[in-house]
Amino acid sequence: MSRFIIQRLLSSMVVIVIIITMSLWITRQAPSNPCLKEREANTCVCVKEHALDRPVFPLHVGSPLQEMKGCEFWQPASSMSVGPVTLIGLSDWGNTQFAIYMKTLMQGSLGKSMVTERTVLESLKSGLPYTVHLGTQALLLAMLIGIPAGLYAGLRQNTASDYSVMTVAMLGVSVPSFVLGPLLIMLFSLELGWFRAVGWESWSDSVLPTVTLGLYYAAYIARLTRGGMLEVIRKDYIRTARAKGLTEKLVVYRHALKGALLPVVSYLGPAFAALLTGSVVVEEIFNLPGVGTHFVRSALNRDYNMVLGTIILYSSLLVVLNLVVDILYTLLDPRVSYDK
């Protein structure tokens, strides 16, 4: 087991390094750059030599900074984090932006935002608790609603109750959060005044965002659980259990449940990751101070360091959560084993 975990961790590192490399390259390929503002501004300076402590990007032809002709590369004028001229290269390996970025990363830094005066780590640290809180709560809500509903429907296959539950679930899957969120605000904040419409200062402020975010997953989990139950309930070992004369309750709880929940468990990892990374819209609607907002805004601002920072955070979350699910699998299904 521990060998499996170590193997997986190592391969995850490789995955993350590949992600960093790709992201470094892609962000620099995106048109425009962090220096470009609506009015001409001297936020960037020309660099001719390898300045090791600042990110550099090629000047796009005819930018408003053309005054200093003959300049190939630009960097923000204030002291910001790392990156020499070459992005990725073989000849001067130690001096590529990639190598420098990895070095800073090893030192536990993600560099400085190229738009605000904060470090990337600071911004992510301030946002992550909210995103994780929201994601966890939404997942719990999804399971609390989804699993019972799915079991209920699964045990009554093709009855009217099954159809009704699944119809509601279908609705839940179909309503996007940018519709549900404003609807909830309209009803519970503006009409009834039960919750605040924006911001996050106390727990009650998290209720509407949690429902908005979690309902889709509740519906999906209900469908998965129902499917799992339908499959398991026809299995031989269930028939054996029934033949032993066990009550229907015992059959369901002791024997069928574990198997029925397997698809749900394997879905939980990606679902949690999706909840953490996918709360962008909900954060925007309710004006929550989470990470999602940084992710979107930094991409729009071409804040290279911040984009990279959030990508690293998200991809690490994804990799770790998938690993956790694989481990959970062995606990639920004795047939699954990672030891040879």
Partner 1 sequence: MFGPLSTIPRRAICLMLVAACAVSLGACKKSGGEAPAKGGEAAEFVAGSNATVFTFALSADPQTLDPAKMSGSPEGRIAFNLFEGLLMPGPTTEGLSKPEELVVPGVAESYEISEDGTVYTFKLRENAKWSNGELVVAEDFVRSWKRVLTPNFPGDYAQILWVIKGGEAYAKGSDDWDSVGVKAIDAHTLEVTLEHPTPYFPELVAFYTFFPTPAAAIEEHGDAWTRPGNIVTNGPYKLTSYKEQQEMMLDINEHYWDQENVALKRARVRIISDINAVVNAYRTGELHWSGAGLPVAQITGLLAHPDYFKEPMLGTYYYRVNVSDANSPLANPKVRQALALSIDRESLIDETLNGLYTKAESYVPPGMPGYETKTTTSYNVQKARELLSEAGFAEGKGFPRVSLLYNTDENHKLVAESVQDMWKRNLGLDVELVNKEWKTYLQDVSSVQYDIARAGWIGDYNDPMTFLDMFVTDNGNNNTGWSHAEYDQLIASAQAESDTQKRIEMLQEAEKILMEEGPVIPIYYYTNNMLVSRFVEGFKQHNRDIHLLKYLKLPGLAQ
Q: What is the DSSP letter of 73?
A: E
Sign of torsion over alpha carbons 146, 152, 158, 164: negative
Identify which of residues 36 and 221 has a Cβ nearer to partner 1 in the complex.
36
DSSP string, 122-138: HHHHHHHHHHHHHHHHH
Q: Find the binder of partner 1 among 2, 29, 38, 70 (CB under 8 A).
A: 38
Q: Check residue 164 for interaction with partner 1 (CB under 8 A).
A: yes
Q: Check residue 285 for interaction with partner 1 (CB under 8 A).
A: yes
Q: How far is the CB of 220 from partner 1 (least distance, A)?
A: 19
How far is the C-alpha of 65 from the C-alpha of 74, rounded, in Å?
9
Dihedral, CA of residue 31, residue 32, residue 38 and residue 44, to nearest 10: 180
- The answer to whether 55 touches 114, Cβ cutoff 8 Å, is yes
Q: How far is CA 132 from CA 209, 213, 273, 294, 330, in A?
A: 13, 12, 10, 14, 26
Residues binding partner 1: what is the number (CB under 8 A)? Answer: 62
List the x/- string, 88-127, binding to partner 1 by CB under 8 A.
---------------------------xxxx---xx--xx
How far is the C-alpha of 59 from the C-alpha of 50, rounded, in Å?
15
Q: Check residue 227 for interaction with partner 1 (CB under 8 A).
A: no
Q: Check residue 167 for interaction with partner 1 (CB under 8 A).
A: yes
Contacting range for partner 1; rule: CB under 8 A; set: 49-57, 70-78, 216-224, 234-242: 70-78
List the x/- string, 128-157, binding to partner 1 by CB under 8 A.
------------------------x---x-
Neighbours of 273 (CB within 10 A): 20
Q: How far is the CB of 47 from partner 1 (least distance, A)?
A: 11
How far is the C-alpha of 151 from the C-alpha of 153, rounded, in Å?
5
Q: Check residue 21 for interaction with partner 1 (CB under 8 A).
A: no
Interface with partner 1 by CB under 8 A: which residues?
Answer: 31-33, 36-43, 45, 60-64, 67, 76-79, 115-118, 122-123, 126-127, 152, 156, 159-161, 164-165, 167-168, 182-183, 185-187, 189-191, 193, 196-200, 284-287, 289, 293, 300-302
